[in-house]
Structure formats: C-alpha cells, structure tokens
Amino acid sequence: MGGLPSLTDFAKYYWYVVVCAVGIATLVNMFNYALYRQRLSAARAGLPKPSKPKSPFSVAVATLFAIVREASHFSLRIRVKGRIFSLPTVGRASLIAGNIVVILVLCFYGFDLTDQWSKEDIGYRCGVIAVTQLPLIFVLAGKNNIVGYLTGISYERINWLHRWCARCLLLTVTIHMGYFFASWAPYDYIGEQLKTNTLVWKGVVAWAMLVWIVFSSMTPIRGWSYEVFLLQHLCSFAVLIGFVYIHTPVEVHGYVWVSVAFFFFDRVVRSLRVLYANISFFHPKQRTAGHMSGLWACKAEFMPLSNKTTRIVIQNPPISWTPGQHVFLSCHSLVPLQSHPFTVASIPADGKMEFLVKAETGGTKRFFRHAEKARGLPATPATARSSTKTVAIEGPYGCIRPLRQFDSVILLAGSTGATFTMPLLRDIIQGWKENASGYSDQNTASLFRSQSGAVTRSVRFVWVVRSRGQLEWFTEQLDAISTDFRVLQDSLKHIKLELSAYVTCDEAFTEEHKTLMSNFSTPAPNSTLHKSKVPQHGTVEFQSQTSSLDEKRKQDDSKEEISELTRITSRTQNTNAGSCGPDSTCCCKTTVDETLSPDTIPPPCCCSSANKADDANARRDSRTSSAPSWNLKQRPLVHPSISVFSGRPNPREIIRRSLEQALGESAVVVCGPRGLIGDVKDDVCSLSDERAVHKGTGAQGIYLHTESFGY
C-alpha cells in the first residue's frame, strides 16, 4: 500500500475532523454570547429594535442561522395504529451521517474492496479507527467536559451524541472483526484462531461487551431502572476498556489512556463541586451570618402539595444558578446512595433553592411520604427538626441562551414542567425591573458576568395543568408577576405580558372560576396584561378536558405524567369510543382556540366513565371540592388577569400571534414530553418556512429551546 499514510495518521485525520466540528460549534457559541451582550448594550443605549439585525453582515448571519435552524429541527412523524413515532431531526441525523461517512472513508480509502488479500489490511485499519473513537465517547459522557464548555451545550443535551458515537464505534468494530473473519473463512481458519490465538478471543470479548453496552443503553432498558443501568454501565465500560487495552498494540494505547483520563477528570471535578457546595466551611460569610452551622451546608424542608408532589426548599443555598438550570439532589437519610436531577423552580433573588418533585416510585415517593408524615405532626421544635433534613446538591447544570436578549418570548409548559419556564419568566420580569429603575450595570466591564436589563417587549406564558391543585404550586409567583407587571407598565409602556392556564381535567374548577370572575372587580383599563372591563384573556372558556405533564427530570421522570401530557399535546391521537362531540369527536380532545367566542365552544365532556373518574380524582387532588353554591366573596385561585381555559392549547396559533407582532428575534421555549416537543418543533419549522424568516419578507428569526422528559 505504498503512498498511503500510516495507520496512526488515519487516526489523527479523524480527530482533525472532530476538532473542526467542535471549533465551528465553539465559534457559534462565542458569536451568540457576543450578540447577547451587544443587544443588551444597545437596549441600554436606547437604540430602537435592538434584537433585529441591521447591518448586511448581521442580516446574512441571521439568514444562515434561520436556514440551518429550520432544516435541523425538521423531523418526520409517523403514525402507526394511533401511536406517533418521530424520526430523528434532520440536524441530528446529518451529524451522525457525517460521522459515519468520515469513519467509512478512513476505513476503506485506498483499498481494493474486491481483493481477497486486502481484507486483513482493511481489518487492521478499521481496528485503529475504532480505538481512535474511544476518547470522543468518554468526553461526551461526562457532566463536566471540554466539549460542553466550549460549545455552551450542557451534558444532557449532548448525551444522545454519546450514545450514537458508541453505535458508530460498534459499526466500526464489527467491520474490523468481519474483515478478519472474511479473510480466514476460505481456509476454515476462524475456529482455529479462536482456540489458539488469545488476541482474537480477547477482541471477540471486547466486541460482545460493546454489543451489550449499546443494547442496554436503549431507552426502554435504560429507563426501567436508571440506578441499575448506571452501575452496570460503568462496570461494562471498565471491562471493555480492559479488553481493548490487552487486544490492541502499544501504538494506540494513548487513545485508551486519554479515555480513562477524561473519565477521571469528570469524576474529580464533580467531587470538587460536591465538596464546595455541601461543606459549610467553604462559605464563611454564610456561617458568620448564621445561615449555616455544623459541617453540612444544605438543609432542606419537605412540604407536601396536591397531586402527590413535594416542595423541597433549601434556604440560603451555598451556590448560585441561572434560571432553567437543575441540580442533582440527594438525601441519604431518606433515600440512601441515590441522587436525582431536579429543576430549580426559584431564582437566586429569592434567597432559596426550591424544587417541585412529583412522587412516583423509589426516592421521589419516599420524599412525599416524609413530607406528609412531617405535616401531620404537631408544631414543636422537635417536629420542625424532623421535617428538615440534611441534603447534598451537585451542580448546577444546564444551559440556555439568556432570554432577555429576544424581542418576544413564548414559554410553554405543562404540570411540573413549569418549574423550568417559571424561573425564566421571572428572570425577564427582573430584567424589566432593572430597565424601569434605570439600573446602571456595574458588571459591564466583566466579560463573563450577565448584564442588567432586558430587550424583551412581549412574553407569552402558557401552562397546562390537570387540576386546580397544580395551579396552587405557583399561585404566589403568578400573583407577584401580575402585580409587578402592572407597576412596571407605568414606566415601560411598550412591554406586554399574557399569562394563560389550560385546565384539562377539572371542569368544576373552571366553572367556579368563571362564576367568581363574573363577580370580581376588574382592574383599570389600559393594561397590556388584560386590564379591560373583563380581562381580555381572563375569561373562562369551556372547551375540553384531558390530562397533564411533569417536571424536567432528565433521569428521574414520570411515565404516568408523560402519558398524561402526551394525550394533551399530541394533536393526532385517536378519540375514545362513545365520543360526546359531533362527527364522533370527543370534547376532551378538542383544542382551544382563544380567538373564538365562548358561545361557539362545545359543552364540557362527560362521554365516558373514565373521564368522570379522572374528574373526580382531579377534584380530590385539588383538596377543594366544588360547593353547591358559590361564595362570591371568595378570592379567585389565580390572578384575575390570567386566562383560564378548559382544554388544551393550540401551540401553532399561540406562536404565530407572537411572531406576527415581533420586532426582532423571538424565542420559543417548551418543557414537556416528546409529544409536546414534536408538536412545537413542527409548528416552529412550518411557521419559519411559511413566514420565510430572514428571506426578504421582514419576518424575524426564531430560536427554539426544548426540554423533554426521559432518560
């Protein structure tokens, strides 16, 4: 094979491609960060439309980004017997296809594939290319990795790439083994090699172990018991690395050692972060202030809420975070040797770290039981200590582009998915407060600190819940947001905020709310937050009822809640037998159109016993059953300016209306199950194409961020 590079050179070529790809992503991340700072600086300087590109260069970049986003988010959704299957997005599929093409080119370049005598040479090269891929798999597996730091992508958003790179490795190793077997097969030499050549059977064991790792990492198996999966996953990779090391020549052992180094780097960094966050001696100011005592820094209070949800609160937390981030929380006195990721439902300004945890099985169920037990005890200092437990936190993790830089923001969530979107909404409100106060950013000179103020003019917040009990989780925050907004409008005339709650399975609550609203004194006019005679979006419209959605727990989710929200969000599902609506449709499946008159909305659904049972459960979970007569002096559960609808939302129309009034780039953020994510992605892609974003029509760009449930 004269004239061809050496085997080790081919290995280097693979990493040249990887470094180039990471470099491009890093440049995009740096550009986005510079754009964020430029927009907020322009807003503070009083420039018009700071989130709209103006120069030819910025317009060209925005057009390129719009084309890439529209293509990368597109995904085919196939319906089979009432179930929806989504194929990988074009962006992900293109990235994996590109990786496979690079691998195959490096494996076969310069060889005559029909030549019997080239088979072992091809096998050798494939083996080297296979070992070369190990460091990439390990670096993508860590929660603290250089790729994530450079590209601004958190570990949970590139974990899918870690799994697919392992599958690409399996493909390469299979080709490597297959060509050696093909070379030996004409001479009936495979069995003899396995018996006498220890190098061969060591390689077969490594291949079998990789097959097991790939198989056990599939979603159904991975989600069955994540703790068991994680333990066997680490053990399996240790065995794989050991057999790869004794199977490969010394020339490629460097790639094995680099893989091991990436693994231990992540573990060491995680350990240091855990020690810093949980040992009180690293926080002398808080110890001096009396917020901490003893060795441990974090103590949490567990409080039971409706719908089998636990509110966990850590007062005066030792670390800070940004809205939308999550931490791993463990309480070994209740759930030994387990750590679960939960979204932080509060913002740093609250002075507390708050979580809403849905009780399912295992650890989350024990949290709820402890909270219920503590609530039932009489109020004494001893019981107060009993309800407060020492906890440990690791993090924070997660990354989202700051939403303050966008002209319009649409936030969609369901059930405890609001723990992700609520802090984002409150952060924008905080930015508006800074705008109104004329706050001079003292951190402007710091390149890595967030800036004050907000570019955002319009925010649309949509929350889908099952019953009134879930609305109670954030009643205080929603009231504060509504009150703050009214005050802010005195000085910021251009801002707009629309808050909507969709109650899918509590008809009694929506009827009660409508009655209360008809007798509730409405605010003064001229408020964008629906200060009209009757709140513009504050009336209750009866449309339908169905189910809900859960918290952004990347590795500790609720299959039950996912099933519920899938029924809410998937607009293509079949209706149940015995439907109540016309044309064999069920009112519980009908999507709410907020622009319709209440007179055109079909009556509430009572078409099946299942729906009746769901409604009864919703009332029971809410802890407040409907009364036969209304107390007109009773205060509404939610602020009068918040829209309350009975049914599920139509994301496409919600997004469209926000985009039509946008004067710059918009952001769409959604937290929910895969059905909701797929619907919103389809809507954003189709609207981007329909509106010809940054293609001469004047339509501005759309940034999409999704948070889905699942392992």
Residue located via tokens 């009990």: 469
Average pLDDT over residues 213-233: 87
Contacts of 252 (CB under 8 A, 6+ apart): 8, 11, 128, 131, 132
Contacts of 340 (CB under 8 A, 6+ apart): 328, 329, 330, 357, 363, 364, 553, 555, 556
The residue type of 303 is M
DSSP E strands: which ranges in 627-697? 643-646, 666-672
Q: Give the H or E element holding residue 395.
A: strand 392-397
- Give the pLDDT of residue 136: 97
Contacts of 338 (CB under 8 A, 6+ apart): 227, 330, 362, 363
> What distance in Å separates the CA atoms of residue 258 and residue 238, rounded to the nearest whole number?
14
- Give the pLDDT of residue 381: 52
Q: Are 415 and 550 in contact (CB under 8 A)?
A: yes
Residue located via tokens 């509430």: 604
- Minimum mean pLDDT among 39-43, 126-130, 163-167: which range? 39-43
- Give the pLDDT of residue 538: 38
Q: What is the pLDDT of residues 493-532, one digit of tens each?
A: 899 999 998 888 766 676 666 767 666 554 443 444 444 3
Q: What is the pLDDT of residues 105-133, one digit of tens each?
A: 999 999 988 888 899 999 999 999 999 99
Q: Give the H or E element holding residue 363.
A: helix 363-375
**Would you call the peptide bond into 396 cis, given omega within 30 degrees of 0 as the criterion?**
yes
Average pLDDT over residues 450-470: 88
Q: Indicate whether 580 pLDDT > 70.
A: no
Q: Indicate whether 234 pLDDT > 60.
A: yes
Question: Pick the residue with more confidence: 211 or 516?
Answer: 211
Nearest to 564 by CA among 624, 504, 612: 504
Contacts of 668 (CB under 8 A, 6+ apart): 410, 412, 655, 680, 684, 702, 703, 704, 705
Beta-bridge mates of residue 85:
78
Q: Indicate whether 66 pLDDT > 80.
A: yes
Q: What is the pLDDT of residues 355-396, one digit of tens each?
A: 999 888 788 899 999 888 887 655 555 545 557 899 999 989
Average pLDDT over residues 6-29: 96
Question: Pick the residue with more confidence: 327 or 700?
Answer: 327
Question: Pick the residue with more confidence: 452 or 148?
Answer: 148
Q: Sorting pLDDT into bands at 50, 70 and 90, what band is 351? A: very high
In angstroms, how far apart are the furthest CA atoms of the chain?
Answer: 93
User: Could you tell me the end-to-end alpha-carbon distance of the chain, in angstroms, rounded to an integer?
Assistant: 46
Within its chain, how far is the Cα of 93 from the centroid? Answer: 20
Q: Sorting pLDDT into bands at 50, 70 and 90, what band is 608? A: very low
Question: Pick the residue with more confidence: 641 or 247?
Answer: 247
Q: Indicate whether 636 pLDDT > 60.
A: yes
CA angle 86, 87, 90 (to 5 degrees): 125
> What distance in Å separates the CA atoms of residue 35 and residue 54, rounded to the nearest whole number?
13
Q: Indicate whether 625 pLDDT > 80.
A: no
Q: Indicate whether 65 pLDDT > 80.
A: yes
For 5, counting Cβ atoms within 10 Å of its Cβ (0-12 exposed, 13-18 middle, 19+ buried), the class is middle
Average pLDDT for the chain: 82
Q: Are 643 and 498 in contact (CB under 8 A)?
A: yes
- Minimum mean pLDDT among 52-56, 322-326, 541-545: which range? 541-545
Q: How far is CA 251 from CA 17, 86, 131, 139, 287, in A?
A: 21, 43, 11, 21, 53
Q: Sorting pLDDT into bands at 50, 70 and 90, what band is 179? A: very high
Q: What is the pLDDT of residues 559-579, one digit of tens each?
A: 344 334 443 344 434 434 444
Q: Residue by residue, what is the 3-state secondary structure of 497-543?
A: EEEEEEECCCHHHHHHHHHHHHCCCCCCCCCCCCCCCCCCCCCEEEC
Q: Sorting pLDDT into bands at 50, 70 and 90, what band is 199? A: very high
Q: What is the pLDDT of residues 392-416, one digit of tens each?
A: 999 899 999 999 999 999 999 988 8
Q: Indicate whether 168 pLDDT > 90.
A: yes
Question: Pick the residue with more confidence: 546 or 42?
Answer: 42
- Give the pLDDT of residue 394: 95
- Give the pLDDT of residue 215: 95
Would you state the structure tokens that stand for residue 140, as one six-digit string?
A: 């993508």
Q: Sorting pLDDT into bands at 50, 70 and 90, what band is 320? A: very high
Q: Indicate whether 679 pLDDT > 70.
A: yes
> What distance in Å separates the CA atoms of residue 35 and residue 404, rounded to the nearest whole number?
12
> Starting at the edge strand that comes first in sequence, how are the strands of the sheet with 496-503 ordered?
540-542, 643-646, 496-503, 458-465, 408-414, 666-672, 702-708
- Give the pLDDT of residue 548: 36
How many Cβ atoms from other residues are within 10 Å of residue 351's Cβ? 11
pTM above 0.85, yes or no: no
- Give the pLDDT of residue 233: 94
Q: Indicate whether 324 pLDDT > 70.
A: yes
Output DSSP code: residue 188.
T
Q: How far is CA 321 from CA 335, 343, 456, in A?
A: 25, 11, 21
Average pLDDT over residues 638-665: 88
Beta-bridge mates of residue 242:
none
